[in-house]
């Protein structure tokens, strides 16, 4: 019965891992086709994001395979050192995936904040240009437009 439960858990994780790997590769290829139009920092962010996400997705699949193989072939009674080594490896792999996920979250937040600052600076610049071009409305014009005056 434990063999069936590990298959029920590991098989979907392996399939999801493979789907994510394929999705990351497809996304990276699409980005590279239009990367010439993107700023260098955007290209660097996307390349590093691809590496983090590809590595995390692949390692999830590796951990699931190791769990399945370990459960089906290695016994803690017969081979305690191999059993301990295998499960330590699975644990370390999952911890590395969690670190990659945290790094990806931080990098994505920093990237989004940078883009937001750029958009806000561009917005201020356009607002200042409109003000220079058309002038600032006087107090009389402003009050006559808002219906108080």
**pLDDT tens figures, 68-118:** 988 888 777 888 898 889 999 999 999 999 999 999 999 999 999 999 999
Outline where the chain has alpha helix (H). 2-33, 40-73, 80-134, 139-145
CA nearest neighbour of 57 among 86, 92, 26, 97 = 97
**Where are the domains positioned within the chain?**
2-133
Tell if the pTM clears 0.85, that is, is over it.
no
Proportion of the chain above pLDDT 90, given as a percent? 55
**pLDDT over threshold 70, residue 48:** yes
Residue 137 or 115, more confident: 115
């Amino acid at each position: 019965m434990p063999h069936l439960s590990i298959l029920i858990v590991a098989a979907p994780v392996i399939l999801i891992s493979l789907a994510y790997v394929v999705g990351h590769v497809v996304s990276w290829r699409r980005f590279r086709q239009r990367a010439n139009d993107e700023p260098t920092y955007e290209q660097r962010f996307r390349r590093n994001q691809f590496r983090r996400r590809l590595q995390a997705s692949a390692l999830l699949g590796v951990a699931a395979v190791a769990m399945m193989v370990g459960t089906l072939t290695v016994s803690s009674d017969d081979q305690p050192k191999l059993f301990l080594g295998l499960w330590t490896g699975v644990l370390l792999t999952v911890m590395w995936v969690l670190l990659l996920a945290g790094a990806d979250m931080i990098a994505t937040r920093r990237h989004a904040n940078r883009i937001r600052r750029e958009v806000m600076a561009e917005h201020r610049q356009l607002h200042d240009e409109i003000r220079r071009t058309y002038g600032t409305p006087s107090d009389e014009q402003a009050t006559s437009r808002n219906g108080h005056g």
